[in-house]
Amino acid sequence: MKYSIVFPGQGSQSLGMMSDLRSNFSVVNEIFQEASDAINVDLWKIVNEDQELLNLTENTQPVMLAAGYATYRVLAGEVNLTPISIAGHSLGEYTALVASGSLSFFDAAQLVRKRAELMQAAVPSGSGSMAAILGLDDSKVVEICSIANEKGVVEAVNFNSPGQVVIAGEKDAVAHACELMKEAGAMRALVLPVSVPSHCSLMKDAAIDFKHSVDSINFQMGSEKVLHNVDADYSNNIEEIKYKLVEQLHKPVLWTSIVQKMTSSGVEKLIETGPGKVLSGLTRRIDKSLSSSAIIDVTSLNSTIEEILNA
């Protein structure tokens, strides 16, 4: 069986996540401890005690990095992994780079914390917004955003699956775009509970600052091929990896294209390593011929191991 490994991003976090895996595998605790040490924040305490703190972008990003990588390490400790490629949705791209050996986990924890702080600082609190648009073609969503721009910045930023696109920008412009989307026949235009309008041009200044952080980190070419969000393609050198990470901050996530690229390279299954089942749900909408599984506890871990061993 040919498979790819995918890592979820922000939005898949939940209070008490990872507790089953942590109870059974010491590596989970080790990884959360390393991330906590890297940024001087007790991440495991946040995961278990405070939903509000967990949902703060500056905490969510290192938490999801740790959760995804810990799940991957648990799986890799149980079975020899030979994925065709790996990828991560938005923030999950950093987890993918760590899993590939392109970036150290300690450096990644500090990098995503910095990324989150810059994103949070880029837009005054309460002035940015994101919304999920369901039931319209990608091109229609892009077209309506360009019309709604008369009210301010609003752009299509996450192409998650056919009929599911996330838009982001200034609050009034996003609200106006949502009304226009409904008029155009969208099944839903749902404002998301986030404080930062990710992946849109409002993040350009943050990206300029973030480049300094990325440039200060030691990257290498990893052992696994990583598909990047900005172009649904691989990198040929370290400079390309860095460039794509900086661009990712203010450019759309091309998740549909990433999954299609995996299918075209012969992948039959996606293994989601990290909390939640968001990417598995998207996989079914992108390509029904692809099977997918999400590792969220010991039971789902064991069934995934069995599938890999028996393939």
**13 closest CA partner among 52, 30, 169, 26:** 52
Helix (H, G, I), strand (E, B) or coil at 167: strand
Residue of 12, 85, 90, 102 marked active site: 90
Assign 3-state DSSP to the chain and report helix, strand, coil percentages, each to 5.
Answer: 55, 15, 30
For 186, the token pair is: 């969208």
For 256, the token pair is: 């549909």
Provide the total of helices (H) and of strands (E) in the chain, helices listed first: 14, 9
* Catalytic site includes residue 127: no
Q: Positive or negative CA dihedral for 81, 302, 29, 45? A: positive
**181 closest CA partner among 150, 156, 159, 161:** 156
CA atoms within 13 A on the CB side of 155: 15
Residue of 89, 176, 199, 250 marked active site: 199
Cα separation, 169 vs 199, whole angstroms: 9
Q: Positive or negative CA dihedral for 52, 56, 58, 59? A: positive
Helix (H, G, I), strand (E, B) or coil at 6: strand
Q: Which residues pair with 83 in a beta bridge?
A: none
* Catalytic site includes residue 176: no
Cα separation, 215 vs 242, whole angstroms: 7
CB contact at 8 A, 238 and 219:
yes
**Which residues are catalytically annotated?**
90, 199
